[in-house]
Every structure is written in structure tokens, then in C-alpha cells.
């Protein structure tokens, strides 16, 4: 059976769910959401098989667990998943890009003769790291903004290393996919040797950008980005600019739900009408009308 494995490589909070929904709704693809297969398999090959066994039992109970885990048995297990779900598997697991051992194992599976297609995904690091901190900051240690920045850079160094080893791996920007789906989603599907399907681009919605500029979190506001991250921004086409009070307010307003913005706009209009009526009443009382 000719099979294709599609691996999405990205950091957390990069809009991977948008890409997952695209492949999930493609009739020729079976999409797996965070199976963590390859990083758990890499751990098992080093002797710690508890997590891998648990994942196999929970998510892939139809597989027969081998008496010992070897590279060959791991590859056969993945082929067994193909046999169950179909020739095209899409794997969205945000842990792979931060795990060199998992990436090395996937590459070995690819080098064994299997058709593996990698897709890189990136989001404006300022917005993604801000999102990580605002969601998980309470459970993160002091200085976590800097630590999150370092982890981010490490992950995309891994991606660039894999590009050097495997050849062309397209890297898509979340903002482009969300705002121009008719242009970028077909390109992504063609890279995976898949045909475009009707309404497949409907899964992408306009991206919410400017989370970093609009954040009111004190630690985010104090965050001084490193020179390495600034170079990384420019490399992937993101514009460097200083935050102003006006841009902060504008970005914060853009992140609000449309219902709140609509009610706020109505409140301003009501206030203006009320002020206008008061002025008219004042003019009439003075006998000027």
C-alpha cells in the first residue's frame, strides 16, 4: 500500500488548529490530533516505554504491542495505523519540533523508503509567545518570557536543520493562511500531493493579530526581545516596529469580540446624540433658535 505521512511542525499557539481543520475536512486524509506518537516512540527506544505503551493502548488499541520496541517495530506500528485509517495520515503534534530525537526518528522512517511530507508553520513570534505567557504564565517560572523566547528559537533552529537535511520544507505563516486561504491552502495541499477540494478553504478564518501590541500584561509590556529574535522576525517576513500607546489601544480593540466592539460603538453614538440634544436645548433656551 502506497502511503503518505504528513507531519506538521510548529511551536505551540501558532494556529495549528486551522491547518488541522483543513486536513481533517479533506476526504482523502485521516487527521490525527496530538497523537504524540513519534516523541513517545523516541523515548521508548531509549528504554522508557511507559508513555508510548499508554498512547498505543489509549489511541490505537487495534495495534498489537511488540514484546520489545525497536526502530523496525515502531515503523511497523505506524504502518499499522496507515492500514487502519488509510493511505494518507496527517499528524498534528506540537511537541515534535522541540524534540530532536523525535525528528531524527521521523527522518529515519522517511529514509527507510516511506513517503513523508513535512509542513512548517509559523506565527508572529511576538503574538505566539505572548499568547503562551497569557495562557500559561501563572504556571511558568520567573523570567519565563525569556525562556519562552529561547524555546521558540530552538524549535525553529530544529526546523532549519531538518530543511538542510531533507531538502525543501515549505514554511507557511499563520497570518497568510488565515487571511489569504485561497492562495496558500492550495499550495499546501499540492506540496502533500493532494487535490484541492471544494470549500476546503472555508476552514480558515481571518487571523487575530496584534496580541503582543495589545497586551496589558505587565510582564509582556516589560519584555525586551533579544537581537536573535529580532533577526528571526525579519527572516520570516515580520515587521519590526516600536509599540506606541495608540497602537497598543488599537491592537487591544481588534482583539475584542465583535459584539463588544459593536456595543461600544453604539454607546459612543448614543453619547454623541445625547450631547447634541443637550446643546440644541441650550441654544433654544437662550432664544437663538
The answer, yes or no, to whether residue 245 has pLDDT greater than 70, is no
Average pLDDT over residues 98-107: 96
Mean pLDDT, rounded, for 9-28: 94
- Average pLDDT over the chain, rounded to an integer: 87
- Rounded CA-CA distance 111/199 in Å is 35
pTM of the model: 0.81
pLDDT value of position 283: 47
The mean per-residue pLDDT over the stretch 82-86 comes to 96
Q: To which residue does cell 529574535 refer?
A: 229
pLDDT digit string, tens, across residues 22-33: 999 999 999 999
State what percent of residues in the chain have pLDDT above 90: 64
Topology classification of domain 4-208? Rossmann fold (3.40.50)
More confident residue, 276 or 126: 126
Question: Does the pLDDT at position 114 exceed 80?
Answer: yes
Amino acid at each position: 500500500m502506497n502511503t503518505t505521512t504528513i507531519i506538521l511542525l510548529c511551536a505551540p499557539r501558532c494556529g495549528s488548529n486551522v491547518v488541522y481543520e483543513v486536513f481533517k475536512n479533506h476526504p482523502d486524509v485521516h487527521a490525527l490530533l496530538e497523537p504524540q506518537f513519534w516523541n513517545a516512540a523516541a523515548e521508548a527506544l531509549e528504554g522508557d516505554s511507559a508513555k508510548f505503551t499508554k498512547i498505543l493502548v489509549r489511541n490505537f488499541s487495534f495495534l498489537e504491542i511488540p514484546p520489545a520496541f525497536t526502530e523496525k517495530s515502531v515503523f511497523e506500528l505506524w504502518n499499522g495505523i496507515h492500514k487502519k485509517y488509510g493511505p494518507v495520515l496527517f499528524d498534528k503534534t506540537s511537541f515534535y519540533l522541540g524534540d530532536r530525537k523525535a525528528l531524527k526518528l521521523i527522518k529515519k522512517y522517511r529514509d527507510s523508503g516511506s513517503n513523508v511530507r513535512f509542513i512548517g508553520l509559523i506565527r508572529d513570534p511576538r503574538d505566539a509567545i505572548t499568547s503562551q505567557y497569557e495562557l500559561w504564565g501563572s504556571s511558568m517560572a520567573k523570567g519565563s518570557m525569556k525562556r519562552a523566547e529561547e524555546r521558540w528559537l530552538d524549535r525553529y533552529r530544529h526546523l532549519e536543520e531538518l530543511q538542510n537535511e531533507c531538502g525543501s520544507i515549505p514554511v507557511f505563516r499563520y497570518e497568510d493562511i488565515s487571511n489569504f486561504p485561497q492562495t496558500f491552502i492550495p499550495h499546501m495541499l499540492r506540496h502533500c500531493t493532494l487535490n484541492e477540494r471544494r470549500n476546503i478553504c472555508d476552514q480558515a478564518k481571518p487571523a487575530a493579530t496584534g496580541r503582543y501590541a495589545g497586551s496589558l500584561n505587565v510582564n509582556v509590556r516589560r519584555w525586551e526581545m533579544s537581537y536573535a529574535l529580532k533577526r528571526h522576525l525579519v527572516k520570516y517576513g515580520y515587521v519590526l516596529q516600536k509599540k506606541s500607546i495608540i497602537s497598543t489601544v488599537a491592537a487591544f480593540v481588534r482583539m475584542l469580540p465583535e459584539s463588544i466592539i459593536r456595543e461600544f460603538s453604539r454607546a459612543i453614538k448614543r453619547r454623541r446624540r445625547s450631547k447634541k440634544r443637550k446643546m440644541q436645548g441650550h441654544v433654544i433656551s437662550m432664544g437663538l433658535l
